[in-house]
């Protein structure tokens, strides 16, 4: 952890910025809807004008439905009110009673004026805007507390190393202290649990943005009881560690994030990949890559070692920069993800009968199947008995 700090840190920051850069763009303004064109005079209009020009023996003041009242009219024309009949007379005449206007429960018994409706749009949006504002204030206060907690672990060395980039981040030593403070062990899968929470983009570095946004997201969307303090964060990390063994979706998420923090540029070194596979294919978290007759993780690592590792020039001397072994192969994202898919298949069928040359497995996995049969890891079937998936 902390190896090639400058290179991995710069790579991690660039990946972080590319993933969390603003992606919000203003939508193009839509033109206002065009009003329908006004209709011209029609034959009906002509007939109506002719009818209005004839004398009416019983004129009744009314408004035309086709034209607005003249601008000079000071008093609107009103229709004469019908004479009010008593209820008894209306009942006797058999006429239907006038509908009683609806009065809300808040209406006054005397004046009949209702109070402000609590379901009015104005009051609804006013209430909800207030709640939204309160949540925002709460989130802002929580983020400030998280920033203060982050600052407790940041050292002067961290500030110096990140001075040029301007992105506050915990270096290898500070990250180690934080991991231990929340109960994580950098040597096992708990490292991946914390890195996923704080949105780490490389091993040995925790950015301030990722720390604050990650923990704030936990409180807002996953567990509101997680306060911005170490004790609460430690309890949450422990609960997530237990979840790994019983939640396949969460386990897969950790597996995929392991590639993010372990890669350099677009690929992961083989020694880093082997270390990660050792963390993830472990009985401690309920995902051991092992069946009744085959220890698949052990066989996989033996195969990789034989195929892609060049030992140091002088094996009798301790390894150093001058006498160092090296890997001749890196691990791509596709190989990383397909290894998990292949592992799941082997747990269901240790005979490897699910595999065939027609399937689209990476070449390194195809060679591993051949290696397993040559080494006697699995029984070799006769050619006419081998099952081929269609």
pLDDT at 128: 55
pLDDT at 321: 83
pLDDT at 319: 84
Q: What is the DSSP letter of 27?
A: P
φ, ψ at 128 (rounded to 5°): -70, -35
Residue matched to tokens 């983009």: 201
Tokens representing 315 are 């094996």
Helices 296-308 and 363-374 meet at what angle, rounded to 10? 110
Domain ranges of the chain: 130-246, 269-390
CA distance 220 to 237: 16
- Tens of pLDDT, residue by residue over 360-381, are 999 999 999 999 999 999 987 6
Tokens representing 241 are 């560690």
pLDDT at 65: 43
List the CATH code of the domain at 130-246: 1.10.238.10
To the nearest whole number, what is the mean pLDDT of the chain?
Answer: 77
Residues of the chain with pLDDT under 50: 1-54, 63-67, 73, 77, 80, 82, 90, 104, 107-116, 383-390
pLDDT at 46: 45
Contact 251, 344 (CB under 8 A): no
Our CA dihedral for 346, 348, 351, 354, rounded to 10 degrees, sits at: -80
CA distance 53 to 48: 9
- Tens of pLDDT, residue by residue over 70-100, are 555 455 545 545 455 555 554 555 555 555 5
pLDDT at 299: 98
Q: Which residues are paired to 331 by β-bridges?
A: 268
Contact 282, 241 (CB under 8 A): no
Contact 215, 207 (CB under 8 A): no
1 Cβ contact list (under 8 Å, min separation 6): 172, 175, 176, 186, 203, 204
pLDDT at 13: 39
pLDDT at 390: 42
Helix (H, G, I), strand (E, B) or coil at 172: helix
pLDDT at 223: 93
Contact 183, 230 (CB under 8 A): no
Contact 230, 182 (CB under 8 A): yes
Q: Which alpha helices (DSSP H) does 156-295 contain, by range? A: 156-161, 172-181, 190-197, 208-217, 230-246, 248-262, 270-280
């Amino acid at each position: 952890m902390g190896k090639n700090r400058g290179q991995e840190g710069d790579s991690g920051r660039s990946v972080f910025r590319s993933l969390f850069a603003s992606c919000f763009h203003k939508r193009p303004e839509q033109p206002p809807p065009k009003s329908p064109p006004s209709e011209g005079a029609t034959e009906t209009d002509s007939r109506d004008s002719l009818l209005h020009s004839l004398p009416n023996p019983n004129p009744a003041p009314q408004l035309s439905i086709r034209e607005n009242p003249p601008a000079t009219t000071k008093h609107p024309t009103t229709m004469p009110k019908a004479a009010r009949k008593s209820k008894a007379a209306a009942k006797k005449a058999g006429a239907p009673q006038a509908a009683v206007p609806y009065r809300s429960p808040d209406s006054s018994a005397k004046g009949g004026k209702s109070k402000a409706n609590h379901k009015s749009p104005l009051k609804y949006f006013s209430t909800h805007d207030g709640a939204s504002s309160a949540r925002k204030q709460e989130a802002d206060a929580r983020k400030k507390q998280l920033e203060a907690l982050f600052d407790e672990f940041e050292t002067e060395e961290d500030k110096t190393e990140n001075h040029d980039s301007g992105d506050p981040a915990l270096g290898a030593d500070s990250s180690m202290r934080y991991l231990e403070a929340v109960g994580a062990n950098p040597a096992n899968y708990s490292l991946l649990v914390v890195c996923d929470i704080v949105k780490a983009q490389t091993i040995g570095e925790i950015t301030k943005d990722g720390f604050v946004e990650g923990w704030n997201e936990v409180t807002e969307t996953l567990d509101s009881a997680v306060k911005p303090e170490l004790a609460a964060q430690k309890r949450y990390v422990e609960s997530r560690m237990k979840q790994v063994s019983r939640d396949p979706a969460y386990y897969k998420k950790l597996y995929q994030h392991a590639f993010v923090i372990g890669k350099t540029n677009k690929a992961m070194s083989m020694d880093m990949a082997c270390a990660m596979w050792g963390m993830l294919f472990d009985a401690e978290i309920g995902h051991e890559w092992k069946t009744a007759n085959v220890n698949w993780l052990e066989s996989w690592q033996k195969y990789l070692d034989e195929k892609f590792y060049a030992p140091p020039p002088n094996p009798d001397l301790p390894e150093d920069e001058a006498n160092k072994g090296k890997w001749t192969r890196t691990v791509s994202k596709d190989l990383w993800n397909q290894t998990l898919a292949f592992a799941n298949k082997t747990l269901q069928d240790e005979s490897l009968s699910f595999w065939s040359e027609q399937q689209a497995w990476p070449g390194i996995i195809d060679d591993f199947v051949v290696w397993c049969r040559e080494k006697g890891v699995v029984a070799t079937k006769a050619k006419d008995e081998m099952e081929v998936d269609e």
